[in-house]
Chains A and B, each alone.
Chain A
């Protein structure tokens, strides 16, 4: 029998099963926490930090990523507060420049409006090319964890980090799958590939100019 844990989210008494994450418990209780890199079929990744919440224990508060944080007995969680709103606003502002070429649209736009983020504030200091990819890794993880095709992956490091298709796997799996089109929160993949040609998405493009 699974143990039930009681905790408090936004002043509401919530029951959760052991091993659940704070995000899942909140969802079950009908409390919405925004996410960008979270997908219910995938392991928590904790890359975007947009799901950050405040956890209060023994009089001290701590900011954690709710998508990967397990529930504990007697936890007190705040999903909205001045501190959390400020964190989410800054995250959106930092993500926005990489979307600048296609415009800040979709989920990121909605969040920007909700948290009052100024999407142009870091635009002038952004040195990398806007790729429209926020490196949430949903496509990469979906391809490996759910589809098990491993046709898509990350290469490079830092500002060069990006998502590529591995041609020898992609030619076999992608034309009939295309499930990553749906998971991409910025719509980059669907807009830039047709499942057979991957402009700027292949390893060769990445390697040109690299020794």
Chain B
């Protein structure tokens, strides 16, 4: 978890390399997200006061775009492909199985911070459909049953010492 001090420090560094211009709002939000993985509330407030833009305006811009996240991703961020090939091969069933297994809905992060679930358009390996990606590792030709199996090592290693 990122503390408020870490957030402030990271944001301050990013802000120092930008001019106080309103047009920098989106680049600033992007840089903060690249650095911290999401947009903490504190960061948004600091960007707003730096640019002298009302806080609601920063929220308005940030929530407009799908690329911005407001909760941190889980340690094992799981992406489910919903591209054409994966969709036809039953991607929806895989997503449902993951939702069931992880007990979170798509777009959420589990309370313990270990897993988050996202649906994506295409991962680029349609031959292996349907695919899921758990923390940059691709799992091909999934079935609802294999989902359970695949998750076991991740569930057993919440400390992050999993051998990959």
A binds B: yes
Residues of A within 8 A of B (CB): 140, 144, 150-157, 164, 166, 168-169, 203, 206-207, 209-211
How near does chain A come to B120, taking the closest CB pair, in angstroms? 12
Of B59, B105, B118, which is in contact with the most chain A CB atoms at under 10 Å from its CB? B59
Indicate whether A168 sits within 8 Å of B55 (C-beta atoms), given known contacts A155-B60, A209-B105, A209-B108.
Answer: yes
**Cross-interface CB contact of A157 among B55, B57, B63, B108, cutoff 8 Å:** B63
Q: Are A211 and B108 in contact (CB under 8 A)?
A: yes
Stretch from B2-10, B17-25, B64-72 forming part of the interface with A: B64-72
Q: Report how many A-B pairs have Cβ atoms within 8 Å.
A: 54
30 A-B interface contacts by CB (under 8 A): A144-B54, A151-B56, A154-B56, A155-B59, A155-B60, A155-B63, A156-B63, A156-B64, A157-B63, A157-B64, A157-B65, A164-B56, A166-B55, A168-B45, A168-B55, A169-B55, A169-B56, A206-B63, A207-B63, A207-B71, A209-B105, A210-B63, A210-B107, A211-B69, A211-B70, A211-B71, A211-B73, A211-B107, A211-B109, A211-B118
For A150, the chain B residues whose CB sits under 8 A away are 54-57
For B118, the chain A residues whose CB sits under 8 A away are 211
> What's the interface size class on B, roughly?
20 to 34
Per-residue interface assignment for chain B, residues 22 to 47, with 1 indicating a CB less than 8 Å from any chain A CB and 0 otherwise: 00000000000000000000000100
Of B60, B73, B116, which is in contact with the most chain A CB atoms at under 10 Å from its CB? B60
For B55, the chain A residues whose CB sits under 8 A away are 150, 166, 168-169
For A168, the chain B residues whose CB sits under 8 A away are 45, 55
How near does chain B come to A174, taking the closest CB pair, in angstroms? 13
Q: Are B57 and A153 in contact (CB under 8 A)?
A: yes
A206–B108 Cα distance when bound, in Å, is 13
Chain B interface main SS type:
mixed
How near does chain B come to A189, taking the closest CB pair, in angstroms? 15
For B73, the chain A residues whose CB sits under 8 A away are 211
Of B54, B63, B70, B105, which is in contact with the most chain A CB atoms at under 10 Å from its CB? B63
Per-residue interface assignment for chain B, residues 104 to 131, with 1 indicating a CB less than 8 Å from any chain A CB and 0 otherwise: 0101110000001010000000000000
